[in-house]
Amino acid sequence: MSCYRTLNKISKNHFLILRRFLRTNVISNPHIKVSEEVQDAIECKKPVVALESTIITHGMPYPKNVVCAVQVEGVVRKQGAIPATIAIIRGKIHVGLSETDINMLGDTSSSKPIKTSRRDLAYVISNEMSGGTTVCGTILVADQVGIPVFATGGIGGVHRGADKTFDVSADLIELGKSGIAVISSGVKSILDIPKTLEYLETQGVFVGTFGDSNEFPAFYSRKSGSKSPYIVQSAKKAAQIIKSSMDMDLKSGMLFAVPIPEKYALSYETMNEVIEQALKSMDPHMEGKQVTPYLLSQVAKLTSGKSLESSIL
């Protein structure tokens, strides 16, 4: 009996030490501020969903960006999880934002946050700037604070013409080296989808389409002409894949592609034409991090905002 009591006491002490370790581990990084709600959820192993912020700062115009970000947080809460939107505010990485923070980041008339991927992070922090974290930047931070699930709209990928430009999003590399599960609506066909899938395979990233078709979705449309290597039929199956990946300590990411519901989907053929037009209108000297935001805003213009509506829905 006393043995059990001692054991119990030891494990309780261990738990407290571990808890303190986890707490200081997150908080002792002077560059990261985790909100109390998110911190508590991580410690108590409640479900937490990381969310990116480049979509707020560079992916959509104001005020739709702010409305959408707040709505997405609401959807996460409705499912019983805690949202952890990640962004940089005056040199500090925040995990879990207030509505005031989201509004400040989204209102680009008053602030000019930097699109922050891995290569930008140290510069933005050391210059006390604000930044919207890309999928790459968000994965990096989520991984450091111990959030294993991240939801977003569309991830970056291999750009069309990458054989000449070498434009491959750092999102794919980060996915390859963090054991995180990213849930998205696939990738937009502003990218080269077959090459993106090839690249993910090379990086060792699991890719599965959620539902009963193995067509990899192209964000605005349910089809893309490319196949996902796997079908994931249910949330339970997805959870089992994530658990097995953790058990195996694979330390490489998983991409669960959830097709847009039929009623909000736009035609793949029409979107392809629009994208071709957007690509043609691009200044041939445009490069680097400007390419994706430019193409997204052109597509929104050419569809008179329809593409934006289906992004939000």
Binding segment toward Mn ion, per CB under 5 A, in 22-30, 54-62, 166-174, 201-209? 166-174
User: Cα 73 from chain centroid?
Assistant: 13
User: Are 259 and 217 spatial neighbours (Cβ–Cβ below 8 Å)?
Assistant: yes
Which one, 26 or 260, has the nearer CB to ligand PSU? 260
State which of residues 178, 292, 298, 310 lies at the interface with ligand PSU (CB under 6 A): 292
State which of residues 39, 42, 50, 54 lies at the interface with ligand PSU (CB under 6 A): 54
| CA proximity to 160, closest of 131, 196, 120 | 196
Residue 167 interacts with Mn ion (CB under 5 A): yes or no = yes
User: Are 176 and 204 spatial neighbours (Cβ–Cβ below 8 Å)?
Assistant: yes
User: Are 175 and 160 spatial neighbours (Cβ–Cβ below 8 Å)?
Assistant: no
Binding segment toward ligand PSU, per CB under 6 A, in 30-38, 54-62, 77-85, 205-213? 54-62
Helix (H) or strand (E) holding 241: helix 235-247
List, by residue number, the catalytic residues: 52, 188
Residue 171 interacts with ligand PSU (CB under 6 A): yes or no = yes
Binder of residue 171, out of Mn ion, ligand PSU, none (CB less than 5 to 8 A by kind): ligand PSU
Residue 153 interacts with ligand PSU (CB under 6 A): yes or no = yes
Give the residues across from 150 on adjacent strands: 50, 182
Binder of residue 259, out of ligand PSU, Mn ion, none (CB less than 5 to 8 A by kind): none
Compute how many other C-beta atoms are within 10 angstroms of the C-beta atom of residue 312.
14
Binding segment toward Mn ion, per CB under 5 A, in 94-102, 159-167, 191-199, 270-278? 159-167
CB of 286 vs ligand PSU, minimal distance in Å: 11
| CA proximity to 140, closest of 245, 50, 201 | 50
Instruction: Give the whole-angstrom CA distance, residue 155 versus residue 225.
Output: 18
Q: Total binding residues for ligand PSU by CB under 6 A?
A: 20
User: Are 155 and 171 spatial neighbours (Cβ–Cβ below 8 Å)?
Assistant: yes
CB of 291 vs Mn ion, minimal distance in Å: 6
Which positions touch Mn ion (CB under 5 A)? Answer: 167
